[in-house]
Structure formats: C-alpha cells, structure tokens
Structure 1
C-alpha cells in the first residue's frame, strides 16, 4: 500500500511546476505525493536537518550536502538505487551534476535540475556575445553591464572568475583560493562594479532577468544563473566568459537535486516515480514541457528542446560541462553567506584586494574544520 509522501521544493516555476504536474500524473497510479514550496532564501535560512525532519523529499543544492551528512538526515542513493543506476546517471548527467552530490564517498541527491552561471544579454542590444572578460569590460564602456552581487552571488561570481583563471581548487585543502588568481578576479569585478547600475545591486538572478526581459536599459549580465523560462523572449543566453578565447569557461554549478530524508521509508511506487523523473522520457519531454531545466545531457542536446526554448541549451551547454563546484563541507552555507557579504561590501566601497582576501580566508578557516573534505 502506498504512503502519503511530502516534498519541499523552491518557489519558482522551474522549481515546482514539473514536480507538481508529475505528482498529479503519478496519482493516477495511486501514488500520493504533495509538494510544498519555499523561497530560495528560505533554504539558506533553515538547517537542512530541520527540513528533512518535516519532509520525505527535499530539493536542495550541492553546498548543503556536508551539513546534511553531519546531521545524518538524508539517505544516500547507494541505499536506494543499484550501482548500475547510479553509474548510468553519472554517465548521462551533464557536467558534474551528479558528482556535485557525492560527499563522504556517497551520493546524497538525484540531480533533477541542471544550472550554472552563464551570460545573459538583450538580443536587441548585443548581437554577438563577448567571449572574454576583456571583451565584457570593453562592452561596459559603451553599454550598461550589470553584475549579480546580491545574497550569495557576489562570492559565486568571484569564484567563477577565479575558475576562468584556472583556480578551480586551492593547492592546499585549508586555503580557500590561490591568492594570485583571486587578486586578478577581484580586479575584474572591481572594474565592472563601478559601472554596474545601483538600482540592481540588491537584485537576485530572477529579478535581474525579469528586469532585462521587461526593460532595455541593461545590455548584458556576464554571470547570472540561467533560467530557461526567460530564453524565448528578449533575453538570450550564452556561455560564461573566459580569460582568453581558448581558455576555460569560468562558472560555478547551481541546479538542484532531490534528496530522500531519513524519515522516509520509500515505497516501490515512490522509487519508480523518482526513476521516471530521471528518465530520458521525462527529462527531454515532460520536464521541459513544464518549465523545468533538465539534468540529462541528452535533453540539453535535443534540437527540438533547444529550439522551443530560444537556443538556451545550445548556447550554454559548454558552460555546464565545464562548471566548477562550490565548497560542500559542514559550514559551507554559513561561509558562503558571510563571505559574499564581505566581498560585496568590499567591491562597493573599493576596499583593497588583499584586505578582503585576508578576511575571506579567515571566514573560510572559521567555517571549515582543518583537513575536512570540501
């Protein structure tokens, strides 16, 4: 007999529409699954253990996994699915989407949704997207370029530029970022902060994309988490910038996965429902049909899916394939919050690079146990 299952997802059409529609579909075969919604900021504000105590399924992003492992509140995929299934998802998911949920030698979430920081531009203002950060800076001298700096996005943008500089991981596990690359990234963001419009300094990625969709006063945002729902309109999406035309793309992985809480005792019907959500059928059909952003590479490469959504997938696929991960240790969310605020304020007031970078390293040490996996 089926149980009555409760899930928690994020309150944006990309986060809930496909899940809710899939639950209604599954109800025809007797599965009772309901989804509550929570703001993205709500997930940042509530410990993952608290959410897992109330819900059977929790949609989360990869920086939460270290905290979840410390709280022992999620069931690893290895206890729910076969090794062959997990290996298949690792092969088929775009970029590091599945690997982002691997921590302490286990996987903690199904990567249902894939996203990364990409470039957004007004189609009527920028015909050909810039490729390098130098080209972005040159464009900012002629047209309005906005940075995404609100909430956690200042530190995420900073990490993305560092990734483009090749600083994907520090040489030492207890060092947040290599200093030389960090200084150069600071210089790039400092220059663009000076001309980024003040009216959008508190805007999250959704608000930036809403503004760009409705107004023509902003030409480009070089790093913003991609939302396919905005692609068919005035906004076009492209790969994130590089340092050189042949260098690596710098971007920090976003996206979300479905975690199964320890409180749940999943029925065969619920397990089959989760398998179906990760199937090629659902990922290239049902999920895009309901405003979702799939995680399977085959869906990103599907010409029909790409054409329906304004070239979003073809325009950004290389960024997803090359995306870097955020820290995932227990304390990563607290570090991300504090570090982003320090970085944002430093950019806005023009602090010296090393003063800010020293503070970021201090915050990292405060929220990261020595030698801990990141």
Structure 2
C-alpha cells in the first residue's frame, strides 16, 4: 500500500522522534511506511485544519483547532479507532489535561503525543537570585535585569489569559458569552504593562522558539516569565549555546496556582486516512512507556506521559526541565476550542499589542476584546 502522509511542525521537538520512528518502519516487516512533512510554527498555530486534512493522513495539531476540525468534519474520532479502555488508560497516564484538551463534542480527536505549557525561562548564570515565584516578584525585578514578554503572534492574548487565571479568573468561566470581566482584564494589564514597557525591544517580534534561541545564544536576555517550554534548550547539544533553565510559571501567591495556558501537540487522523491495524499499533507504541520515557526524549521530543515527566534519568539528561515544570503542567488551563477560536486568538492578540503600545486604558481594551470574542464565538458554543 502507499505510504501514509504525515504533517508535523518544523522544530526538533516536533519532528525528530516521529521521523526516526518512521525510519525504522518497512512495508515488508511492519506492513507500514510513513512519510513526514513539516510546517513552520506559525502554520501549526494558525493554518486552516481542513486544508491540512485534505492533504495528509496524519496531522500533528494543537487542541484549539479541534472545534474548527469538528465543524468541518475533517478528523476521525478516536472512539472509532481505539477501544474505550485504551482511551481511558491514556487519560490516566497523561500529565495534566493533555488528553481532555482533545475531547470536544462528546469525542476525543487526537492522541496527546507531546506535553507543553507556558513556564518561566531564565538564564541561571545571569540571575543573581532564586527564580521569582509570584507576579509581584517578577514585576519587582531590578531594571538592569534584561527581561521580555512573549507577545508575538497569538502569544499576547495567551499571556493575558494566563495571568488572569493565576489571579483567579479564567476566560469564559463566568456569564455565557463573556470573555473576561473588565476588572480581570485591568488586573492582568497591571502586570503586563510594566513588563511590556521594559521588554527587550529586539525580542518583541519573536515567537517562543525565537525568544529561547536568543536566550541561548547571547547575554542580552535573562528572563521571560511566561513562554512555552522547550526541553531542547535546557540541555543544548551545541557546546556554544548557553543553558536555559525552566521553572513553574508565576502565581499570584507563593503557594497559588501557576497561571499557564496549555500547549503541546496531538496526533490526529484525518477523514481521508484508511487506518490499518499496523498504523494504529504504531500510534499505540508512540503513546507507550517505551517510547514516551525512552525513544521520544532521546530524540529531542517532549513526552506527554506523567511518569516520563517524573523519571529520574529523563530529568538528569535534560536539566530537570520536567521536574521543575511538573506542577505548572498538571494545573494548566485549557483554552476554548470552539469553531472561530483561532481567529479570535489572532485578532485579540493584535488588539492587546496595539493597546499596550498606544497606552490605551484597561476599559477600552476590555471592550475591544469582548467585541472580538462575541464576534467569533458561536452562540451557545461549547468551550
């Protein structure tokens, strides 16, 4: 049979393990071959999912696309491919809300291959103190310490939402159709404004990978309080690269909930795919302890299995990345997934960036964000 066509994203965390696993397959031995293409991070975050599913059998995606995918009927629900007890076991074994983030409209739509969330990234050699644990400690860091926020692309609104979660108000959790109450937007902006004002100008247009690359390659950026964690920078293979350490995202209080919006990736099967038992067995193997604690970490991947994040050898190999960020991921907040959310995320980030740059008040920013949310959220939509 012809090879399955897969699409993942163009970063070692996104493609190395999948490509290495596929390279070990053969039609004669396994009855299976898979060819993986790559797309840039920006495409992964925003490209229409139905277009990708027309061209690929297997698609690595993130959970905010699920509502769009369900509306356009372009994915196969896991319940039609795997036994209920298998799905339940993945739910028990996966860290935090990674599997449940792919459950929408009564079904699961992707396997949680990779786990990530926003955490704090810093250069330990440039920080002459313990990592800050609260937002007030972050804001109080000395002006001479070079910091930045992750505000490019969708990350501006993700940062505001995460800060609001840490302060006790989750988006969409109040009255139906309300994004965030104006007081919650105002409280989050009190943290965002001073940090945005002092953020390293050269880093303002960078996505999370760009921010972490800059932290690893120079000495002009010591801390980013909220950025998606990439284990690859915690133990760099390049001897010239500086080590970036990762810690729990800031909270409102030292013992409070870290404010963080879940990321990570799932592996989904498109409607065009004729899934054979051999393909399903390969996906099962990617989710199994052997791959999650052994194969995937050794190929620069970031596993989703809870025991992998707690594994002593895995942490020793990767600078305690997993141990240091474990609590944040367990408590991460799941974004809305309704059809239209991706467009809201993009436009809301632009609204917020403009508001910060122009010094707009909290009330007009909150009103514009609410109008944007109402324009993109279908009535009575499941979040």
Same fold by TM-score, threshold 0.5 exceeded? yes
Does 85-94 or 229-238 show the bigger shift? 229-238
SS at match of 1:222: strand
State how far apart, in whole Å, the 2-side matches of 1:224 and 1:212 are.
Answer: 12
State how far apart, in whole Å, the 2-side matches of 1:44 and 1:61 are.
Answer: 8
Provide Cα deviations, 1:314-363, integer angstroms capped at 9, x if missing partner: 11000100000111100000000000111011112211111011000000
Partner residue in 1 for 2:182:
179
- Give the structure-2-normalised TM-score: 0.95
Contact 1:3 1:267 in 2 (8 A): no
Partner residue in 1 for 2:101:
100
Contact 1:74 1:108 in 2 (8 A): yes
Pair 1:242-2:245 in alignment: no
Contact 2:249 2:328 in 1 (8 A): yes
- Give the structure-1-normalised TM-score: 0.98
Question: Which runs of 5 or more residues in structure 1 are unaligned?
Answer: none
Contact 1:140 1:192 in 2 (8 A): no
State how far apart, in whole Å, the 2-side matches of 1:98 and 1:26 are.
Answer: 26
State how far apart, in whole Å, the 2-side matches of 1:56 and 1:139 are.
Answer: 48
SS at match of 2:132: coil
Provide Cα deviations, 1:236-269, integer angstroms capped at 9, x if missing partner: 0000000111211100000000010011110010
Question: Which runs of 5 or more residues in structure 2 are unaligned?
Answer: 236-241
Partner residue in 2 for 1:167:
169
Q: Please state how far the C-alpha of 1:61 moved relative to its aligned partner.
A: 0.2
Runs of 4+ in 1 over 6 A off after TM superposition: none
State how far apart, in whole Å, the 2-side matches of 1:168 and 1:46 are.
Answer: 26
Contact 1:140 1:195 in 2 (8 A): no
Contact 2:50 2:74 in 1 (8 A): yes
State how far apart, in whole Å, the 1-side matches of 2:204 and 2:338 are.
Answer: 29
Partner residue in 2 for 1:60:
61
Contact 1:118 1:225 in 2 (8 A): yes
State how far apart, in whole Å, the 2-side matches of 1:56 and 1:214 are.
Answer: 37
Does 45-54 or 85-94 show the bigger shift? 45-54
Partner residue in 2 for 1:6:
5
Change (3 A) 1:203 1:140: farther
State how far apart, in whole Å, the 2-side matches of 1:250 and 1:214 are.
Answer: 27
SS at match of 1:328: coil
Contact 1:253 1:320 in 2 (8 A): yes
SS at match of 1:272: helix
**Correspondences of 1:136-285 after superposition (within 5 Å):** 136-169=138-171, 170-232=173-235, 233-285=242-294
RMSD of aligned residue pairs (Cα, Å): 1.1
Q: Across the two proteins, how many residue pairs are aligned to each other? A: 373
Q: Please state how far the C-alpha of 1:81 moved relative to its aligned partner.
A: 0.5
Contact 2:46 2:342 in 1 (8 A): no
Partner residue in 2 for 1:120:
121
Does 61-70 or 37-46 show the bigger shift? 37-46
Does 221-230 or 172-181 show the bigger shift? 172-181
Q: Please state how far the C-alpha of 1:3 moved relative to its aligned partner.
A: 4.5
Provide Cα deviations, 1:214-245, integer angstroms capped at 9, x if missing partner: 11121110000000000014210000000111
State how far apart, in whole Å, the 2-side matches of 1:99 and 1:369 are.
Answer: 21
Partner residue in 2 for 1:299:
308
State how far apart, in whole Å, the 1-side matches of 2:31 and 2:194 are.
Answer: 57
Partner residue in 1 for 2:238:
none
Contact 1:65 1:103 in 2 (8 A): yes
Q: Please state how far the C-alpha of 1:140 moved relative to its aligned partner.
A: 4.5
Q: Please state how far the C-alpha of 1:178 moved relative to its aligned partner.
A: 2.8
SS at match of 2:36: strand
